[in-house]
């Protein structure tokens, strides 16, 4: 049988085992022996058990605010009910949320004036109807009960008028002296209005300084392009047009800018419908295991410091193979010790795919790498095809050097008034403690911030800042497309937007943000001068045809070689005596700004599966060399600064590299984010910003409780995520369903079906819901998990409960490591599998429920009756996929009143003691049915879109009626890669998976095994 070979292969494959089992660490041994004592601590401290939950109840003061708050410019009092509002029927508004220089067009669901869910805007070029985890979690940020509510002066509660009076004096002083001693430290933004107001500010105060600062930014990227071309440009990648992609430390699917667009276009280049299709090839060279690395066909783990030299060696190799590339100044990198075969094969592949090739470098890499990558991309003919560069119009770009200079000036006392526009430099500036100290030398420091954070508490004035969904504004996407920010709700706590404040600073008069934005828009988009035009842009969320034209200036090779000679790439490797420290953006809390967001804190990292923490990630060899074990606390010392971290052993991290995620260890984030994880800022100074060496590792004998949602990382040889190479797939197109053999009989449709002892119930009429998940394009980005959490009112349970294995996510992301052989245990491949209720036709959960609380409906849904459930948990025990979630406690009991506003009114909030699980978004099915009925038509394909499907940036999830032969899901299920997980149990899941295909380079597969550096 053709499947046999594959099956043997799968079984022969040695899967990477959990390190704790491999290493027989004390932690693991302790685990074995602590069967009984665990929980003794619980007895003495019943509060600590659910720290998060009890903290959630700390403030209930906002109960009165949960009413209906509509944006003031559009609001009509309910004396006359507005025509369009039907209670219970949500409205959708287009707006834009910005993150640093990125703008994401979104569509926000609003229930009676209460925004509840964020989706992507189909029209917007950065989202195209999709969203990521961070974007969706903004809804919880809006309703964060810890947001600042008052103007503060030296900690005392004041009013805006008090501040206005204060500023009037300052304004007089600084207009007189031209702004000497006045400085603004702002987050970077992408807004025509703010850009205009900034210019206005600079005209009013010509001697004032405006410094832009971000903890995580694309600074290295545009600085690199500036070296190469003389102009700072921001790239936008078109992976869909690329057939060969090389990523140099670029996690473009998760933590880099434009991740939604990247996911979507990358998936488009990987999507196949049959064995005759072709797909792109991805090479990844990185020091950290990222989800981008998990999608790689070939992955090389390399220390971050070596990537520069690798890029140089690649340029030389490309040149050697005949690419027209000026490599002057790279001579010193010819003698490299990288895997020559690997390098040559990659170069060959890139070169032969010229015009369809793309090299992407990550923001962590120094500017010179980006300069070189720009030159390579130009030479490969990528410009305008697989990558477009755009001018940063209406954007302010962060500048670390200027920030450092400002801090110096502050320390010298040269700054008398400092206005901090957002951000949290006292926490995340280079040497944050130095910034905090320098703030004390500044006479007046004013911080506009959504929270009273580490910086606010040190500032003399604090002004509450609006959330993106509470303000008027505008934005430009990377490609320049103009969009409008319209408020969904009045500011919950009387806060002020950046636009209003900056305008006030430079004019000393109030003007509403709405008026200011319209003024800008009239110029930028003339169509908006009419009411109709303005309404159209509000409706669409963006102004059509406002994109910029891409630029691709010529390469200045001499400038690149000058930059390289002034700051050459490291040629040596970090050793275990002098390991490398790499700072990574957190996939959950970004740079720390999402630290008080419970959804994101509880979202397991897509690679480590750690929730509620960051850790010092390193591979097993490094840990062995350093003599440290998993969960052991180590002190990392650099110079006179040091910080403590728990160790987490992760395969795929480059040897002698220690990875630290930024954004944790906040001390003034709020009830959720305070003291979660460990702060990297003592180690992250301006000279060690992205990665560094010279770190001393001191092991302690303490260990740290790390909550991770997946203890076991291997598939144990089981055909769970089924995978083949494109070559294998072409030879055996049916490898996926044939990987498991079981007795079959011919089914009604001719397809073999599992033998059954009785006559099966047929689901032949009406809508029969089913889902298809394409593992080939799923990147494991976690967007679906948060979409589901937001849609279905899934509670947050806190670190301790996650540690106890009680996380509530209906949609979880399983992640397995796969190694071809023993030697590669430390360099495994990674696969992802979204896992939610499979809606089995013969659901094992239903049969065992004593009270019939979980039953089947006639459309093939496995439905839960919460009211009927008594919580025996038998259904969960009998679920082979373990997708059922039990409310062990009343997790929503202490939800603050304001957070309840984020709840979806169409979905029941579950009480303790009941089981819950994915419903296939039953509320959306019913909503679609009602709409169809009202319109007097049948449901058609695409009417029902589940939350996970809607947000999935790779379109990996497709839902629909499997009885409809023309529906997308039916067609996907007919593909030969389609397989039902655990089909041999005869449970007949309605969710099936499309097997994963990798596309390795034949030149690297047929020969000897690749050797890793």
The residues of the shown chain that bind another protein, judged by CB under 8 A, are: 31-36, 38-40, 42-43, 710-718, 720, 801, 804-807, 812, 814-816, 833, 835, 844, 847-852, 868-874, 876-878, 880-882, 885-890, 911-915, 982, 985, 987
Q: In 3D, which of 588, 587, 649 has the Cα closest to residue 620?
A: 649
Of 753 and 806, the one with the shorter C-beta distance to another protein is 806
DSSP code of residue 65: G
CB nearer another protein, residue 887 or residue 919: 887
883 vs 948, beta carbon nearer another protein: 883
Shortest reach from residue 29's CB to another protein, in Å: 10
Cα dist from 359 to 245, 371, 813, whole Å? 6, 12, 29
In degrees and rounded to multiples of 5, residue 258 shows phi and psi of 60, 40
For another protein, give the closer residue by CB, 46 or 64.
46
Compare residues 620 and 803 and give the one whose CB is closer to another protein.
803
* 254/713 with CB nearer another protein: 713
Report whether 291 contacts 607 (CB < 8 A).
Answer: yes
Pick 619 or 801: Cβ nearer another protein: 801
Pairing state between β 752-754 and 744-746? antiparallel
Q: Which is nearer to another protein, 91 or 873 (CB)?
A: 873
405: helix, strand or coil: helix
Q: CB within 8 A of 852, min separation 6: which ones? A: 865, 868
Q: How far is the CB of 760 from another protein (least distance, A)?
A: 16
Residue with tokens 């209406």: 394
Q: CB 586 → another protein: shortest distance, Å?
A: 22
Tokens 């900034």: give the residue: 198
What DSSP designation does 240 have? G
Cα-based angle 942, 790, 593 (whole degrees, multiple of 5):
125
Q: Which is nearer to another protein, 502 or 740 (CB)?
A: 740
Q: How far is the CB of 603 from another protein (least distance, A)?
A: 16
CB 486 within 8 A of CB 528: no
The answer for residues whose C-beta is within 8 angstroms of residue 422's C-beta and 6 or more apart is 186, 187, 448, 449, 450, 465, 498
The residue among 369, 386, 382, 315 whose CA lies nearest residue 346 is: 315
Nearest to 890 by CA among 57, 19, 256: 57
Minimum CB distance to another protein, residue 807 (Å): 8
Work out how close the CB of 913 gets to another protein at its nearest, in angstroms, rounded to a whole number: 3
Nearest distance, CB of residue 909 and another protein, angstroms: 15
CB of 619 to another protein, least distance (A): 21
3-state helix, strand, coil in the chain (%, to 5): 30, 20, 50
Q: How many CB atoms lie within 10 A of CB 628?
A: 21
CB of 883 to another protein, least distance (A): 8
Cβ 650 to another protein shortest distance, Å: 16
CB of 663 closer than 8 Å to CB of 585: yes
Shortest distance in whole angstroms from residue 265 CB to another protein: 29
CA distance 106 to 96: 6
Kindly state the smallest distance separating residue 831's Cβ from another protein, in Å.
11
Q: To the nearest whole angstrom, how small is the minimum distance from the Cβ of residue 996 to another protein?
A: 15
For residue 456, give the DSSP letter.
G
Pinpoint the alpha helices (H) of 230-306: 259-270, 291-294
Nearer Cβ to another protein, position 209 or 988? 988
Q: Which residues of 81-100 are buried (b: 16+ CB within 10 A; e: fewer)?
A: eeeeeeeeebbebbbbbbbb
What is the rounded CA–CA span in Å between residue 793 and residue 788?
8
8 A C-beta contact, residue 15 and residue 817: yes
> Please, which residue, 81 or 870, has the CB nearer to another protein?
870
Residues 6 or more apart whose CB falls under 8 angstroms from that of 368 comprise 224, 227, 308, 560, 563, 564, 567, 569
Q: Which two tokens stand for residue 522?
A: 């009239």
**What are the tokens at 644?**
């403590």
Residue closer to another protein, measured from CB, 601 or 713: 713
Judged by CB, which is closer to another protein: 505, or 869?
Answer: 869
């Amino acid at each position: 049988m053709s499947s046999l070979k594959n099956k043997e292969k799968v079984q022969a494959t040695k899967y990477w085992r959990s390190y704790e089992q491999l290493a027989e660490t004390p932690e693991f041994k302790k685990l074995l022996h602590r069967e009984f004592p665990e929980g003794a601590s619980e007895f003495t401290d019943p509060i600590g058990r659910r720290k998060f939950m009890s903290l959630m109840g700390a403030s209930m003061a906002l109960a009165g605010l949960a009413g209906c708050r509509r944006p003031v410019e559009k609001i009509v009092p309910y004396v006359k009910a507005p025509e369009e509002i039907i209670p219970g029927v949500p409205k959708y508004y287009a707006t834009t949320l910005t993150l640093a220089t990125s703008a994401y067009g979104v569509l926000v669901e609003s229930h009676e004036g209460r925004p509840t869910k964020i989706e992507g805007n189909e029209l917007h070029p950065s989202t195209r109807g999709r969203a990521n985890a961070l974007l969706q979690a903004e809804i919880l940020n809006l309703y964060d009960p810890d947001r600042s509510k008052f103007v503060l002066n030296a900690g005392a509660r004041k009013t805006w008028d008090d501040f206005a009076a204060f500023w009037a004096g300052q304004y007089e002083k600084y207009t007189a002296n031209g702004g000497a001693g006045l400085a603004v430290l702002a987050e970077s933004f992408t807004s025509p209005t703010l850009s205009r107001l900034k210019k206005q500010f600079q005209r009013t105060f010509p001697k004032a300084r405006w410094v832009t600062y971000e903890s995580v930014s694309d600074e290295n990227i545009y600085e690199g392009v500036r070296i190469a071309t003389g102009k700072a440009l921001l790239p936008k990648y078109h992976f869909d047009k690329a057939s060969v992609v090389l990523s140099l430390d670029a996690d473009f699917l998760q933590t880099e800018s434009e991740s939604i667009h990247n996911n979507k276009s990358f998936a488009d280049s990987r999507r196949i419908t049959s064995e005759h299709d072709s797909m792109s090839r991805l090479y990844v060279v990185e020091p950290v295991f990222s989800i981008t690395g998990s999608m790689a066909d070939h992955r090389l783990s390399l220390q971050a410091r070596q990537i520069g030299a690798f890029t140089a060696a690649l340029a030389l190799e490309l040149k050697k193979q005949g690419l027209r590339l000026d490599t002057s100044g790279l001579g010193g990198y010819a003698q490299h010790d990288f895997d020559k075969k690997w390098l040559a094969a990659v170069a060959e592949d890139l070169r032969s795919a010229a015009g369809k090739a793309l090299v992407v470098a990550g923001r962590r890499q120094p500017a010179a790498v980006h300069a070189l990558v720009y030159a390579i991309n130009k030479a490969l003919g990528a410009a305008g095809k697989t990558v477009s560069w755009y001018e940063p119009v209406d954007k302010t770009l962060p500048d670390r050097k200027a920030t450092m200079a400002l801090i110096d000036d502050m320390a010298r006392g040269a700054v008398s008034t400092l206005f901090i526009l957002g951000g949290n430099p006292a926490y995340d500036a280079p040497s944050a403690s130095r910034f905090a100290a320098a703030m004390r030398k500044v006479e007046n420091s004013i911080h506009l911030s959504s929270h009273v954070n580490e910086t606010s508490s040190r500032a003399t004035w604090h002004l509450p800042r609006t959330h993106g969904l509470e303000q008027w504004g505008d934005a430009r996407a990377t490609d320049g497309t103009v969009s409008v920010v319209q408020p969904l709700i009045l500011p919950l706590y009387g806060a002020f937007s950046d636009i209003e404040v900056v305008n006030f600073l430079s004019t000393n008069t109030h003007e509403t943000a709405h008026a200011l934005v319209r003024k800008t828009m009239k110029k930028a988009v003339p169509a908006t001068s009419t009411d109709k035009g303005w309404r159209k842009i509000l409706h669409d969320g963006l102004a059509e045809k406002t994109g910029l034209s891409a630029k691709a200036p010529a390469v200045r090779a001499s400038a690149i070689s000058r930059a390289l000679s002034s700051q050459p790439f490291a040629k040596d490797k970090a050793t275990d005596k002098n390991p490398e420290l790499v700072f990574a953006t957190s996939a959950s809390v970004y740079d720390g700004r999402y630290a008080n967001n419970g959804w994101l804190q509880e979202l397991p990292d897509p690679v480590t599966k750690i929730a509620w923490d960051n850790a010092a990630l390193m591979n097993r060899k490094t840990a062995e060399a350093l003599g440290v074990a998993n969960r052991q606390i180590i002190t990392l010392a650099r110079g006179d600064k040091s910080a403590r971290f728990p160790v987490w052993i992760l395969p795929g991290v480059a040897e002698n590299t220690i990875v630290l995620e930024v954004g944790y260890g906040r001390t003034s984030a709020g009830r959720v984010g305070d003291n979660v994880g460990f702060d990297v800022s003592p180690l992250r100074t301006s000279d060690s910003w992205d990665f560094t060496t010279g770190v001393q590792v001191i092991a302690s004998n303490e260990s740290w409780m790390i909550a991770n949602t997946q203890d076991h990382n291997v598939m144990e040889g089981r055909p769970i995520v089924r995978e083949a190479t494109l070559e294998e797939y072409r030879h055996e197109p049916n490898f996926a369903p044939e990987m498991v053999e079981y007795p079959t009989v011919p089914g009604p449709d001719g397809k073999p079906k599992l033998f059954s002892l009785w006559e099966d119930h047929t689901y032949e009429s009406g809508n029969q819901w089913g889902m298809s998940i394409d593992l080939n394009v799923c990147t494991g980005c976690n967007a679906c998990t948060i979409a589901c959490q937001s849609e279905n009112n899934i509670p947050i349970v806190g670190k301790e409960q996650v540690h106890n294995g009680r996380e509530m996510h209906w949609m979880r992301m399983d992640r397995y490591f796969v190694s071809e052989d023993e030697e590669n245990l430390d360099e495994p491949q990674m696969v992802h599998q979204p896992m939610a209720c499979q809606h089995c036709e013969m659901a094992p959960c239903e049969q065992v429920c004593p009270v019939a609380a979980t039953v089947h409906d006639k459309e093939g849904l496995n439905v839960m009756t919460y009211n009927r459930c008594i919580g025996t948990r038998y259904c969960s025990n009998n679920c082979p996929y373990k997708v059922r979630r039990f409310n062990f406690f009343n997790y929503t009991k202490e939800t603050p009143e304001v957070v309840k506003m984020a709840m979806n009114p169409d979905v029941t909030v579950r009480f303790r003691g009941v089981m819950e699980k994915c419903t296939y978004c039953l509320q959306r099915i019913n909503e679609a049915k009602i709409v169809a009925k009202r319109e007097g038509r049948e449901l058609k394909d695409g009417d029902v879109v589940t939350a996970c499907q809607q947000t999935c940036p790779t379109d990996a999830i497709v839902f629909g009626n499997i009885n409809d032969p023309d529906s997308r899901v039916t067609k996907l299920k007919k593909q030969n890669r389609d397989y039902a997980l655990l089909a041999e149990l005869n449970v007949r899941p309605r969710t099936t998976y499309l097997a994963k295909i990798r596309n390795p380079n034949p030149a690297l597969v047929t020969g000897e095994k690749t050797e890793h550096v």
